Structure 1
């Protein structure tokens, strides 16, 4: 077909603890869903159980794969999960190497990289290279789909924000306003004709079946990281002064 419709079910993985019991950071490459995170995705899976997915994609990170596996378990189809490194989470630098006086700018305000002239994400991966790798994968995927279909993408907070910004035509702009709570669902509708995207729109954004009215969900992802960083630094300073 020269013209086809894609409905993208874009999911952020469920809750993950990025710090251990002693408030030490866990390598994000290995972080897995918590019990709360598993419950969040199970609730979403109930909402999606009547949707048939022709394709299921995830990143190569465990929490993304786990999320896709839970969602797939509720499907009647035997669609394989395809995992891609291109849509892995953006790589941060080492939090302990960020000075206290720079923490608010580089951690809490990290998603306002354009406004604050931050070339790197938390002294790690380049924003421009990250956005390019994510959108290159996405655009290649949608332009080679070749027929009407529903596609599930199990991804990450910042990756989803980049996809949503793309729909709005804000490819390299700040992503602070595109909130993505744990275990949320977004629905993107695209129409492709002759290898061109002729229409794109958002039908649903940041839907969380486990908390429909976002009760007590005030923090963004980087707010949580910043607060943990400050608490950790305060504990270390207390130790040094005792």
Structure 2
């Protein structure tokens, strides 16, 4: 197993959220409201490039995204800042797509949607809680996202990985890591803000499987950084939550 220099079994994941998008843009309207098609706005592209510059000195062994345009573009901008001869091929892991939302019940204005979403992650730890009425069960989203990370950590020949994903999925993964990477972290989801194009850093200590079978398993997760935004490190003027900012007329 390849590990971080100076360690005996540690691997590192740089977990990013995609850059700014406009969920009321022409692409979504043309797709009948399908948010999977939304691309980065010019602001989102600038945010992703800023993250790329901040990470330009980091050599990624592998790079992964959820496959939708906004995460693919974010990861691509970050990798564009890497030396060409060290740039990994961008892989798609579809189970890292955002938590599937339910119905807004004919709500159409930005303000109404923002009000409905403002405290929605607070319910994630409740049994059977879903992302809005009729949406995906938070526990199911956690299961698929954690499954991806667990599989990736079990694969050999890498120690540093870039992952570009989404706010909800990142919150789920951070909550899981915060509670020891062996239990559900949904009760912690509400505490992890994820601004556009932010960078989180999680280390995983890997050990041989306890049952003696071939391979490794997670001994512990160490959260080294959360919600770092290279385009505004100290968050000056970023007074709205991420959800509030998404639906604001003027992006922060």
Assess same fold via TM > 0.5: yes
C-alpha separation between the residues in 2 aligned to 1:73 and 1:196?
A: 32
Are residues 57 and 126 of structure 1, via their aligned partners in 2, closer, same or farther at CA, if it must alter by over 3 Å? same
**Which whole-Å deviations, capped at 9, do the CAs of 1:81-101 have from their partners, x for residues lacking one?**
11111000011123244699x
Q: Which moved more, 1:76-85 or 1:28-37?
A: 76-85
C-alpha separation between the residues in 1 aligned to 2:39 and 2:114?
A: 27
**Which whole-Å deviations, capped at 9, do the CAs of 1:62-85 have from their partners, x for residues lacking one?**
100001111111112131111111
- The partner residue of 2:87 within 74, 78, 100 is 78
Identify unmatched segments of 5+ residues in structure 1.
229-242
Identify unmatched segments of 5+ residues in structure 2.
3-7, 209-215
Give 3-state SS (helix, strand or coil) of 2:168's partner: helix
C-alpha separation between the residues in 1 aligned to 2:44 and 2:113?
A: 27
Q: How many equivalent pairs are there?
A: 225
Q: Which residue of 2 aligns with 1:220?
A: 241
C-alpha separation between the residues in 1 aligned to 2:81 and 2:64?
A: 16
Q: Does 1:158 align with 2:168?
A: yes
Q: Does 1:66 align with 2:87?
A: no
C-alpha separation between the residues in 2 aligned to 1:205 and 1:150?
A: 17
Q: Which residue of 1 aligns with 2:212?
A: none
Structure with larger RCO (C-alpha < 8 A, sep 6+): 1
Give 3-state SS (helix, strand or coil) of 1:193's partner: strand
Are residues 199 and 218 of structure 1, via their aligned partners in 2, closer, same or farther at CA, if it must alter by over 3 Å? same
C-alpha separation between the residues in 1 aligned to 2:230 and 2:162?
A: 17
Q: Does 1:172 align with 2:181?
A: no
**Which whole-Å deviations, capped at 9, do the CAs of 1:87-130 have from their partners, x for residues lacking one?**
00011123244699x97885222101146666210121111211
- Residue 213 of structure 1, CA deviation: 1.4
**1:2-21 aligned within 5 A:** 4-20=9-25
Give 3-state SS (helix, strand or coil) of 2:202's partner: strand
- Residue 190 of structure 1, CA deviation: 1.1
Q: Which residue of 2 aligns with 1:231?
A: none
RMSD of aligned alpha carbons = 2.8
